[in-house]
Amino acid sequence: MGELFQQAEAWLDQIEQTQDYGLPYVDIESKTEPVRLNLMMSFWFYDGDQLEVKEKFVKKIQDYIALTGVEFQREASVKNQRERKFRKEDFPENLLEDIKKEKDSVIYYFSDQPKMSFAPKYGVKTTFSSEMANNERYSTVNFIFPFNFANNSDQRLQCIEFFKSIVREIKIEQAYCGYRVGQPLDFTQAVPWQAFETAANYRFLGLDIDKNMAQTSAVTNDEPSLEKGVRSTAWLVYLGQPWLEKLNEVQAIQKQKPNTPLQLEPINQGMFFKADESPQLARIGLPRPQGYQALNNILKPIREKMLPLTQYADSLAEWEPIKGCFLKLMSHHNWHG
């Protein structure tokens, strides 16, 4: 861990010196690019074993391809333990066929890179729970974008609209969009590069943690799980109705209209939050983005308490309210502390 951590520090130093946030980390030994900063959306939902839900997400993968213009190079299925050239000619029918045949969990990866051992600039990762999960386990779909995708205002608006279209059309429990440390899509391949995620979290508060947070029967109470609480603040956050009910004061937040960039919009019986006009890295030591701070204060009562205890050094969980006008505003609602 020590040596990789130093390499991660050097890579982050280079990014900050050049201000080139798209700069990948190049691994000399394997001649791959296993780490890069990305913008990522993640959607967490039940009923992932239902064909109708899977079909809706296949349509969303098509929308994502149309939005980004990406040409996938590789695809992989965890069940077959192999990657192959992206089968463009018959897509998406071939994916739908594979999904229909499968009774167990369906885990698929798509990447724009020449190999799955590279962190994608553009990529999709789908994990649909099996029928045996009995609607007690989250399924999750991640859409990966280049770090600077939202720098262009048109693309930023399209990005927000794509996110909203999913929570509008599919029953989603939790969803997030923000910056994160991109690693190879296959979780087993990503393991050696976790030191980079940790190093980045010592510098930036605005990073999402790409942790396999789905609850399984093997998860005990001392392991983090999004079944027990939400993540912390991100650029875009969506909470479905069950989580919103736990935040019974959300109406009060709307009435307050705090003097920050935070925006709220009810969608599909849940709530969509936009913490800022554009995603923020929130460099530690610089003034905190106030919309992110406000959103953190709101989410704190229902946050997964175990997040700070993961090996991921989840500094997002360490956002604490700072003294100032917003704190006074929220003091009536007991959200600070």
Q: Is the pLDDT of residue 314 over 60?
A: no
pLDDT of residue 288: 85
Residue 226 vs residue 65, higher pLDDT: 65
Render pLDDT for 169-178 as a digit per residue (tens, 0 to 9).
999 999 999 9
pLDDT of residue 2: 81
Q: How far, in Å, CA of 100 to CA of 102, rounded?
A: 6
- Burial of 248-259, coded b for 16+ CB within 10 Å and e otherwise, reads eebeebeeeebe
pLDDT of residue 207: 84
Question: What is the average pLDDT score of the chain?
Answer: 83
Mean pLDDT of 256-284: 89
Q: How far, in Å, CA of 167 to CA of 174, rounded?
A: 9
Mean pLDDT of 207-216: 59
Q: Which two tokens stand for residue 196?
A: 């980079």
Lowest mean pLDDT among 19-23, 161-165, 218-222, 228-232: 218-222
Q: Is the pLDDT of residue 194 over 90?
A: no
Render pLDDT for 105-126 as a digit per residue (tens, 0 to 9).
889 999 999 999 999 999 999 9
pLDDT > 70 in the chain, percent: 79
pLDDT of residue 331: 35
pTM greater than 0.85? yes
Looking at mean pLDDT, say which of 94-98, 167-171, 333-337 comes out highest. Answer: 167-171
Lowest mean pLDDT among 139-148, 157-166, 186-195, 265-274: 186-195
The conformation of residue 270, written as its DSSP 8-state character, comes to: E
Lowest mean pLDDT among 47-56, 76-85, 130-139: 130-139
Q: How far, in Å, CA of 14 to CA of 9, rounded?
A: 9
Cα-Cα-Cα-Cα dihedral of 306, 308, 314, 316, to 10°? 100
CB atoms within 10 A of CB 329: 18
